[in-house]
Amino acid sequence: MSTGPRQNRARGTSSKMPAVRHAIGVLRRLAASPDPLPAAALARSLEVPRSTMYHLLSVLVEEGLVVHLPEQHRYGLGLGVFELGSAYLRHDPLEHLARPLLARLVGDVGDTAHLGILHGAELLYLLKVQPEHPTTLVTDVGVRMPAHLAASGRALLAHLPAEQVRALFPSPASFVTRTGSGPRNLPELRSMLTTERRQGWSVEDGLITPEVASVAAASFDHNGHPVASVAVPFRRTARPPESWPQLARHVLRGADALTHRLGGTPPQRPTGPVDDTGR
């Protein structure tokens, strides 16, 4: 019995389905593992030949969905997966969940509040809620800023795996400046991220615009991944540095409330007072 073009196409599509399922299986297995995995372990887990696994991994690495760690001979999730997740969360559900929380934060602190997400090595402002008499600032919805300079960006970078941060900032040329200040290389950035991760919030003091500072904290999904940051920018003359930890407590409450709405769990944070302003 002869087969028509439609049947041939259907058979061709069906023959490719195992590869698609295996690729999805690789991503799910890496997502479930707290550490990067060797190709052999992935092959055993999915019950496929090693040669097939290496081919799948090669394609996924090329597409940015998986990252290869040559020193460890292991593989982990790539930035492409994070960006896909961020793209999903960028849609209306995230904005609708965050808007009332940002409005409450604005009412508590009297300053503008932002919601931001990572887009590659940049911070994209997704939502902005202002008080009745807002201060004019350069940040607005749709504006992108270097993630390593903005408090909103570093609040998210601080909770990414080290290999993902390294992939985002592969060379000193990656570290642009706006006011001549800020981290100039990966070790300096990592030092800042370590400090800010420990204290639970990030601060930017004049790195984007002179005399403008910002305090930010991250919100997390059910896997513990940072998906968005809540931030309050302000004129530095209006808030002395010693008042920033108190502002950070308000921002953290807003970020944690969004985490709960996303079905996530906030990370463990220091319980004592934080004196480091992160400058």
- Per residue in 198-213, pLDDT (tens digit) is 999 999 988 888 888 9
pLDDT-wise least confident of 24-33, 98-107, 186-195: 24-33
Q: Is the pLDDT of residue 80 over 70?
A: yes
User: What pLDDT does 87 receive?
Assistant: 65
Q: Which of 1, 48, 4 is nearest to 26 (CA)?
A: 48
Instruction: Give the pLDDT score at 139.
Output: 64
Phi, psi of 6 (to 5 degrees): -65, -40
Q: What percent of the chain shows pLDDT beyond 90?
A: 47
Q: Does the reported pTM lie above 0.75?
A: no
Residues 227-247 have pLDDT tens digits of 999 999 998 888 899 999 999
pLDDT band of residue 72 (cuts 50, 70, 90) is: confident
Identify the band that residue 180 occupies on the pLDDT scale cut at 50, 70 and 90: confident
- The 10 Å CB-count burial string (b at 16+, else e) for 247-276 is bbbbbbbbbbbbbebbebebeeeeeeebee
Is residue 13 over pLDDT 70? no
Kindly list the domain boundaries of the chain, sorted by start residue: 5-77, 83-261
What per-residue confidence (pLDDT) applies to 185?
Answer: 93
What pLDDT sits at residue 237? 87
Q: How far apart are CA 16 and CA 14, in angstroms?
A: 5
Residue 214 pLDDT greater than 90, yes or no: yes
CATH superfamily of 83-261: GAF domain (3.30.450.40)
Model pLDDT, residue 189: 95
Crossing angle of the two packed helices 92-109 and 244-261, in degrees rounded to 10:
150
The pLDDT > 70 percentage for the chain reads: 85
Q: Is domain 5-77 given the CATH code 3.10.310.30 in the classification? A: no
Determine contact, residues 230/255, Cβ cutoff 8 Å. Answer: yes
Q: Count the neighbouring beta carbons within 10 Å of the beta carbon of residue 221.
A: 16
Listed ranges 9-13, 47-51, 116-120, 215-219; the one with the highest mean pLDDT: 215-219
Confidence of residue 51 (pLDDT cuts 50, 70, 90): very high
Angle between helices 50-62 and 39-46 (to 10 degrees): 110
Sign of CA dihedral 86, 91, 112, 123: positive
pLDDT of res. 90: 55
